Amino acid sequence: MIPFLDLKSINQQYQEELKEACARVIDSGWYIMGTELSAFEEEFASYCGTQYCIGVANGLDALTLTLRAWKELGRLQAGDEVIVPANTYIASVLAITENDLVPVLVEPDEHTFNLSASNILNALSSKTKAILPVHLYGQISPMDEIMGLAEEHDLLVLEDCAQSHGAEIKGRKCGSWGDAAGFSFYPGKNLGALGDAGAITTNDKELYDVLVALRNYGSHKKYENKFQGVNSRLDEIQAAMLRVKLKHLDNETEHRQHIAQLYLEGISNPKVTLPKLTMKEGHVWHLFVLRTSDRAALMEHLEKHGIQTLIHYPTPPHKQEAYRDLANLPLPLTEKIHEEVVSIPMDPTLSINDVKKVILALNKFKAK
């Protein structure tokens, strides 16, 4: 079986370094908010090209706490509208509603699966206060255009970089474009911890100060609580794991880009629509997502050839029971995308031989 993503083999490549880092934390006797976290925050900020990084417990908290911090700073208020792509993973929307803000679900660009400036423009109202672009499947959104639009309309921008570590446009990495950005280091993400972890990047010192407190009970100083905060800390073991994995991220990304290139050149089947690549450095290929009108048959065909596939995602947020109030929104493109997408193996340890097998099997597929 060619697995969709083999986390064991990914982490085995670095097992010596990971075990050493783990031992270093065990021996230090200090397990929360220590030197591993501050070193990782510095290294990740420098990787992204921002002044600050704040480690938190997961990617959802990174997004939720940033919006919460803007409320604490008086830059957002309950009831304000936040523009978000309708085809995102539900976490992007949960971060908005958790803060009593109003998600405005916008159809993506059909070819990139991301927000476009013109779709955002059409969704603006007098209540719009922020945009939450999601760099879906690893491809950066048109951040130059989005930031121009945000400036013109005085909107905050929170990038959802959970799938796009290292993707860049015009020489600037994701996470450094918006007023702030949320990252996830869930094990299956391009930069994955060995458990849950997340972070926020920003150049805004005021925002940084509020976030540092919010993640730790709202406290800047032990036993002094300025905000009604939460416990959302990135622990020392995970920070140490991430420091090891960050050193190898660009190498892994290069291999993902190579696999994607082979897929794009090799797959040619009229039944299959390939993803569109705007520019090479703009896509870090968290997922390689095809579209086909005959998905069930294609998945069955690939399974028979020993190839594992997954769907990202089977149901859009507005069709989830959790958001039944939004179920009647007219989002035909988003719904069509969810009916047609299928993700094929994408893993930095996938061999070129296996990539060729996937291509061959896809090219043999005939719809019924």
Ligand X SMILES: *Cc1c(COP(=O)(O)O)cnc(C)c1O
Q: Which residues bind ligand X (CB under 6 A)?
A: 58-60, 88-89, 91-92, 134, 160, 162-163, 184, 186, 196, 198
Nearer to ligand X, 162 or 355 (CB): 162
Nearer to ligand X, 57 or 212 (CB): 57
Provide the minimum distance between the beta carbon of 63 and ligand X in the complex, in angstroms, as a whole number: 6
Provide the minimum distance between the beta carbon of 127 and ligand X in the complex, in angstroms, as a whole number: 24
Nearer to ligand X, 59 or 282 (CB): 59
Nearer to ligand X, 61 or 236 (CB): 61
Structure tokens at 336: 């069509």
Provide the minimum distance between the beta carbon of 253 and ligand X in the complex, in angstroms, as a whole number: 16
Closest chain position to ligand X (CB): 59
Nearer to ligand X, 160 or 179 (CB): 160
Provide the minimum distance between the beta carbon of 102 and ligand X in the complex, in angstroms, as a whole number: 19
Provide the minimum distance between the beta carbon of 236 and ligand X in the complex, in angstroms, as a whole number: 18
Nearer to ligand X, 139 or 292 (CB): 139
Provide the minimum distance between the beta carbon of 87 and ligand X in the complex, in angstroms, as a whole number: 10
